[in-house]
Amino acid sequence: MKLNWRDAIGFIIFVTLAALAGYNMLIGIPFAENIFDVATKLVGALIVITAFVERTTAVIGSIWFDDDIDKASAEENSARKALKDKPEDTERLNKLSDSSMNLATWRAKKSKMRLYLSLFMALAVSAVGVRTLGSLLLIDTPKLTVTAFQRCFYYTADIVITAGLIAGGSKGLIMIADLISTIIQHTKEKLLSK
């Protein structure tokens, strides 16, 4: 098996964190008492925020790319119509192929830009205060002695995780909400059957 540089960095980070935890530099942080209620409200709030981020990136993407995409689409349609008149004409076939490739390139550029912009906006939103772990874990418990390093690492991880959830889109968050709902329902059924 060939190890690439990303795998190597991930492995080094994992081993370093495990070693720090082993030397009690990273302690366990307790969960919120009613974690399912908190998680349900959190996912609901994240879905709303994610919808705002998605809509904003869609508008910006349209401003930056729709003119070029519309031109490329019109060229492709024109080439497609011209090819219908003479399907055996290789020059027209090549023109259709080129225009289709141009359209696909513009759509890919827009998609990639939206992904980067979405991640950037999600990081910004998370950095200014929208957090996931902060709602689910009780890091500010008075009896808990969290080192400055762990607190810094915790907040960094919280920002990155929250940004990933937001940038991942509302469909992914809705799937998480459905999963939480299923777990809660299954747990209630088990408790009622006892």
Q: What is the pLDDT of residue 24?
A: 67
The answer to whether residue 20 sits within a structural domain is no
The answer to whether residue 107 sits within a structural domain is yes
Residue 68, class by beta-carbon neighbours within 10 Å (0-12 exposed, 13-18 middle, 19+ buried)?
Answer: middle
Asked if 124 contacts 166 with a C-beta cutoff of 8 angstroms, the reply is no
Q: Which residues are registered as beta bridge partners of 80?
A: none
Residue 14, class by beta-carbon neighbours within 10 Å (0-12 exposed, 13-18 middle, 19+ buried)?
Answer: exposed
The answer to whether residue 165 sits within a structural domain is yes
Question: What does the pLDDT profile of the chain (194 residues) look like in tens digits?
Answer: 577 888 888 888 888 888 877 776 777 888 888 888 888 899 889 989 999 998 999 999 899 988 998 998 898 888 888 878 887 778 877 888 888 898 899 889 888 898 889 889 999 999 998 889 988 998 888 888 888 888 888 898 899 889 988 888 888 888 888 888 888 888 888 878 87
Q: Which residue has the tokens 């909400």?
A: 177
Tell me the residue range of the domain where 72 lies.
Answer: 35-188
Asked if 61 contacts 85 with a C-beta cutoff of 8 angstroms, the reply is no
Residues with Cβ within 8 Å of 127's Cβ and at least 6 positions away in sequence, in order, are 159
Nearest residue to 50 (alpha-carbon basis) of 171, 190, 148: 171
The answer to whether residue 42 sits within a structural domain is yes
Q: Is the pTM of this model over 0.85?
A: no
Q: Number of folded domains in the chain?
A: 1
